[in-house]
Structures are given as C-alpha cells and as structure tokens.
Amino acid sequence: MDQLADHATRLLSRLIAHNTVNPPGNERALQEELAADLKGAGFEVTLVGRTPERPNLVARLRGAADGPTLCLLSHCDTVLANPDEWTHDPWCGEVIDGELWGRGALDMKSQTAAEVAAGIELANSGWRPANGDLLIVCLVDEETGGADGVAWLCENHPDLVRCDYSLNEGAGAFFELGGERLYGVCVAEKGVCRFTIKTDGVAGHASNPRFGDNALLKLAPLITALGEWDPVYDLTDGARALMSELGAPVEGENVAAAFEGLRQREPLLSAFVEPMLGLTFAPTMTSASAKINVLPSQAELRVDCRTPPGLGEELVRKRVAEVLGTEGYRLEFTEQAIGNASPVDSPLMDLLSGWIAREDPGARTVPIVLPAFTDSRTIRATFPDSVSYGFFPMRHTSLAQMWPLIHAPDERIDVRDLAFAARCFSEIAQELLGSAS
C-alpha cells in the first residue's frame, strides 16, 4: 500500500471510531482532530458553527496567484447504527479481508478521509497551487438537512466556502452497460416536495361501522392509485444527457419509448435510472383515529415526493390531479426544496473524464441525476456560477453492490476503492490548480 493509500485508510479508521450519529451529531472531537492534522500540513483552518458542539471545518491551502477555488466537500455526521444488527462493531474501523468496516465507511467518512489525506499529502510534499486555492470543507448535520451545517455556513459565512468548483458525494461507483464500465458523475439533484393528503368522514363507534363514515377507508384507493401510477417523465438536461450516453437517446419528448428500450436491454440499470427521469411519489405514513374503537373522522397520508431539478409545486399539483383526480381529498404541502443542477460540460468534467480514461482504460464517465439530495444543492444555490459535482470513484465495488450498504447494517468499503478515490482527488487538484512548487 502506498503512502497516500495508507494515510487514507488510517484516517478513515480514526474517523469511524468517533460516534457521530445524528442526532445528536457530537462532531466536535472529530473536527478538532482533522483541524490539527490540516494545520500541521500548512492549511489555514477555521472551525465555526451555530453551536460550539457542532463546528464546521474549513481548511484552505492558498496558491501563488489568483485562480479558481476547488472545494473538496464532505460531511462527518452519520445515520444511526444498531450494533445488534451488525457482524462487527459499527465503530470498530477495522480492516477485515480487505474491507474497512463501520458506520460512515461509505456515507461518507470515506470521502472525508480520501479528501483530507490527499490534501495533507500534497501539502506535506511542498505542493502549492499555482493559481487559485484548494479548499477542504467538512460539514456537520447533513443527515438531518444541514441546518447547522451547509445552510448555516452559507448564510452566515459564505466567503469561507465560496468556490468555483466542488466535489462531493453522490456518484462514482461503477456500473456496466453492454460490458462497458461506466462511472457516474452527479451533475444534478432532485428536489423535495412532500405533501399530505387528507380525507374527511364522520366519527362513530367502531362496533357498528355503518353508523359513521370512516375517513381511513377513503385513503385506500388513493394509496393504490399512487402506487400503481405509471410515471409521466419530465426530462431535464442532466437526465437527457444520461439517456444519450446510455445509448437510449430521447427523440423529441418521447421519453417513455427511449426508457422502455433501456429497460428491455438493462433491467437492473433501468431501476436506478428511472427516478432520474421525472417526479416520484412514495406514500410512507398514514394516521387516523387515536382510539381503536372510534371510526376516524379524518385520515392523513404523507407522501415523500421528489421532483426534477428546477421543478416544484406546480408540477406536483398537476401530476397529483392526473393520478387522483381533484375531488374527495385535500392536498397540503409540508416541505419543499427545489433541486438544482450544474452544467454537464465543464473543465472539471473534462478532468474527471480524462482521469477515468487513464486509470480504467476503456471505461468512461456519464452524468447522472441523484434522486436524493446532498449539501451540493446549497452550494449551487449560494454560488450560482460554481460547478458542483458528486464523485467518489470506486473501481472495485459496483453501484449494485454499494447501494444496499448505504444506511444499512454491515456498511464497509474496499480499501482499494478508498485509495483509488484519494488518488483521484490528489491528481485532479494538481491538474486543475497547477503547481507552484
């Protein structure tokens, strides 16, 4: 194992040993360790947060002359982990049969470790950017929305994180199409437009259901309709570019025909692609009577709705009406955030594509739209002229192998993939910013 790979592996083990399950997060001890490492390598380091217990880390390595700022972005909080469900302790950080185990090994302390190790090794070697700055940012609170993390930082200290380019989580594990290896680069993220459907009835004693009007029963056909809906696709630029790269170009607006051709050829891949092409409805929660023996006079269905980048409530209202009609229920929106995108074509995309072509001959990059969202959404919204991509390249673990481990028991990463990503971040920084040393 070379020096950079060894550094990234040891660092990830240390990071996983910190229990930063959010809530509550408790990220300070981890952030202070990273701050000390980065300061020791010559970075200018700032720790700042809404509360003392949850500081965000911003580390800058200044260049010799003006130029672009490249931000290597990550977050250090994780989702929960129940040790009883794991084969090994979720906070062990041990390498077992070539895989490093623990909560955050994929989402996303691995990227923190790879980015920080790359930056420190570069700085310790004497490298400094010829033009522009290298920025390493490790955020708190991503797993519960970023109110104490990226949102707070961009609102209160935007100059600390202002950047021209950024690399974050969201894509990078390889997948195959017709024997060809493809690496996704996340260029866009869907938005959230969650809503509640309410039905009304008349309360009554449950011992005689006919003397009343059970509002819960009125939800049943609505849930069924949402579950059986055949999506109407609303294609955005990133999704259109992806379909073309996958050999299923969309002619005009006939997305369904292009997608059906892809599904016939690649059924597993198409399951990952379909949510990228339009709006999705996922009924997830219901509530009705507070007592078992009372017919509910009101029932509620909560729906997690994800919208294509740039689209929101207007589209959702239109699609809900198409699926459910307009009578017999009330629709209330509860949470909205518009998704956004970066250009598919950029100097950073050229560098990522070139790097993959060199490191994995015959493979190539393709743009993807993330069905969920990351902190990049806030970076794009705050700095509209910046280019923000999600990319953590994984050569030894496929997308189909990686995805089931996210937020799940037995999360782990192949240490070869950790080394692969660390080398990518190191070399992309040097190519984009040049060398003053």
State whether 197 and 78 are in the same domain.
no
252 confidence band (pLDDT: 50, 70, 90): confident
State whether 61 and 118 are in the same domain.
yes
- Inside any domain, residue 393: yes
Considering the chain, what is the average pLDDT of its residues? Answer: 96
State whether 15 and 83 are in the same domain.
yes
The answer, yes or no, to whether residue 270 has pLDDT greater than 90, is yes
State whether 331 and 346 are in the same domain.
no
The answer, yes or no, to whether residue 425 has pLDDT greater than 90, is yes
- DSSP labels for 335-380? EEE--EE--SS-HHHHHHHHHHHHHSTT-EEEEEEESS--THHHHH
User: pLDDT, tens digit, for every residue of 288-301?
Assistant: 999 999 999 999 99
State whether 212 and 112 are in the same domain.
no
Q: 270: domain CATH number?
A: 3.30.70.360
Q: How far apart are CA 387 and CA 153, in angstroms?
A: 18
SS3 428: helix
Q: How far apart are CA 341 and CA 350, in angstroms?
A: 17
State whether 345 and 328 are in the same domain.
no
The answer, yes or no, to whether residue 1 has pLDDT greater than 90, is no
Strands (E), 201-342: 204-205, 280-287, 294-295, 298-307, 330-337, 340-341
H or E element: which one contains 131? strand 131-139
Looking at residue 155, the DSSP 8-state letter turns out to be H
pTM: 0.94
- Inside any domain, residue 104: yes
State whether 129 and 262 are in the same domain.
no
* pLDDT above 70 as % of the chain: 100
Range of the domain at 428: 3-178+341-433
Q: Which residues have a catalytic role annotated?
A: 77, 142
The answer, yes or no, to whether residue 437 has pLDDT greater than 70, is no
SS3 193: strand
State whether 252 and 330 are in the same domain.
yes
- Inside any domain, residue 183: no
- Inside any domain, residue 396: yes
User: pLDDT, tens digit, for every residue of 110-161?
Assistant: 999 999 999 999 999 999 999 999 999 999 999 999 999 999 999 999 999 9
- Number of separate domains in the chain: 2
User: pLDDT, tens digit, for every residue of 61-88?
Assistant: 999 999 999 999 999 999 999 999 999 9
* pLDDT above 90 as % of the chain: 97
- Inside any domain, residue 184: no
User: pLDDT, tens digit, for every residue of 313-368?
Assistant: 999 999 999 999 999 999 999 999 999 999 999 999 999 999 999 999 999 999 99
User: Nearest 5 degrees, angle CA 411-CA 414-CA 416?
Assistant: 155
Q: Please name the amino acid found at residue 92.
A: C
What pLDDT does 285 receive?
Answer: 97
State whether 232 and 302 are in the same domain.
yes
Q: How far apart are CA 390 and CA 185, in angstroms?
A: 6
- Inside any domain, residue 381: yes
Domain boundary among 311, 337, 363: 337
Q: How far apart are CA 363 and CA 12, in angstroms?
A: 28
CA of 149: how far to CAs of 51, 203, 285, 327, 379, in Å?
10, 45, 28, 41, 11
State whether 173 and 55 are in the same domain.
yes
49 confidence band (pLDDT: 50, 70, 90): very high
